[in-house]
Amino acid sequence: MEFTFYLSGAIAVAATLMVITGLNAVHALLYLIVSLLAVAIVFYVLGAPFAAALEVIIYAGAIMVLFVFVMMMLNLGKAAAAREQDWLTPGIWAGPAVLASLLLAELGYIFAQGGTAAGAVAVTAKEVGIALFGPYLLGVELASLLLLAGLVGACHLGRHEDVHHGWDEDERHENG
Amino acid sequence: MAGMKMSAMRTAEAVAAIPMHHGLVLAAVLFALGLIGILVRRNLIFILMSIEIMLNAAGLAFVVAGARWEQADGQVMLIFILAVAAVEVSVGLALLLLLHRRFQTLDADAVSKMRG
């Protein structure tokens, strides 16, 4: 069972290497998602199934979707169709697909074997919840405060464009 | 197949699973890669992604330590790191959109000059 740890770690390092050397942001994002999924498998093998689930749902799911949305907004009106055509060539998604299918095979192997690595004791979601809402209750409150501050900050920064809506029209006049 | 056999042999001879320092080395390598990404890249999207990599590596270190002592504290810290990462990335991406709107670029050097 241990080799799943090392294989996932190698996949995570390789995918991260592709992220920081990537030229295209969307391709780098694909590799970043693969890297996060690999780290999730590392968590699972180490005996932290709840952390693995959170990593997949929040990191690879929610946070990466934010990135995707922003890239969608940035690419508007810039010969998007031609670029889309380039992105559909097999060479581009083959790398992330191979790494992700390796991870999937690993996941199947882990579930076929059942449980975590030998010697590792799984810390369940129940224990994490008891610790989180027991001794760490103040931390939870602080995190909620931080999330609220982030919400207000992002809202303010996003609303800025509406306040200066005249700018866009000016630029459009200049360009047109 | 060979890997399965190797793994079975290893579990037979050593009950103690993955050594803690292997996990910490993995976390350190990921963190170093994120740091290199921040230092080398000038595109703000890549800088934000590198920050995500570094936060994730820090969380990995916490989970490795938590697994070593079989305590839930490591995973609790990972949850806090997730909250911090979510806030950071939402505010960072809002700033990035603002920058793109104003300067039509994502180059971090474009905002190196202050108005005052």
Q: Give ipTM to 2 decimals.
A: 0.81
Do A91 and A34 share a structural domain? yes
Do A155 and A73 share a structural domain? no
**Contact yes or no for A169/A161 (Cβ under 8 A):** no
Question: For all residues of chain A together, what is the average pLDDT?
Answer: 82
If contacts are CB pairs under 8 Å, which of residues 55-74 in chain B contact chain A? 56, 59-60, 63-64, 66-67, 70-74
Q: Is the pLDDT assigned to residue B105 strictly greater than 60? A: yes
Interface test with A, best of B47, B90, B96 (most A CBs within 10 A): B90
Last residue of a domain, one of A73, A104, A122: A122
> What's the domain count of chain A?
2
The values of phi and psi at residue B107, to 5°, are: -75, 130
Answer yes or no: is A170 within a domain: no
What pLDDT, on a 0 to 100 scale, did the predictor assign at position A79?
62
B111 CB near a chain A CB, below 8 Å? Answer: no
User: What residues of chain B lie within 8 A of the CB of A42, using their CB?
Assistant: 23, 26, 60
Q: Where are the domains of chain B?
A: 1-115
Answer yes or no: is A176 within a domain: no
Read off the pLDDT of residues B1-19 as tens digits, 9 standing for 90 and up.
Answer: 444 444 444 443 344 577 8
Answer yes or no: is A41 within a domain: yes
Answer yes or no: is A67 within a domain: yes
**Contact yes or no for B86/A62 (Cβ under 8 A):** yes
CA distance A166 to A164: 5
**Which residue has better confidence, B110 or A170?**
B110
Do A35 and A16 share a structural domain? yes
Burial class (CB in 10 A: 0-12, 13-18, 19+), B101: middle
Q: Residue A101 sits in a domain of what CATH number?
A: 1.20.120.1200
Residue range B72-101: mean pLDDT, rounded: 91
Q: What percent of chain A has pLDDT over 90?
A: 32
Check CB contact under 8 Å for B49 and A67: yes
Class at the top of the CATH hierarchy for domain B1-115: mainly alpha
CA distance A11 to A13: 6
Q: Residue B24's closest chain A neighbor by CA?
A: A9
Check CB contact under 8 Å for A139 and B17: no
Check CB contact under 8 Å for A54 and B82: yes
Please give the single-letter amino acid code of residue A46.
L
Residue range A117-146: mean pLDDT, rounded: 86
Read off the pLDDT of residues B27-80 as tens digits, 9 standing for 90 and up.
Answer: 999 999 999 999 998 888 899 999 999 999 999 999 999 988 888 899 999 999
Locate A68 and state its tokens: 């995707």
CA distance A103 to A41: 8
Of A12, A25, A123, the CB nearest to B66: A123
Do A17 and A88 share a structural domain? yes
CA distance B44 to B99: 10
The parent domain of residue A101 ranges over 1-122
Read off the pLDDT band of B109 (50, 70, 90). Answer: confident
User: What residues of chain B lie within 8 A of the CB of A130, using their CB?
Assistant: 72
CA distance B56 to A37: 11
What pLDDT, on a 0 to 100 scale, did the predictor assign at position A57?
93
The values of phi and psi at residue B17, to 5°, are: -75, -140
**Contact yes or no for B63/B70 (Cβ under 8 A):** no
Check CB contact under 8 Å for B90 and A1: no
Do A138 and A56 share a structural domain? no
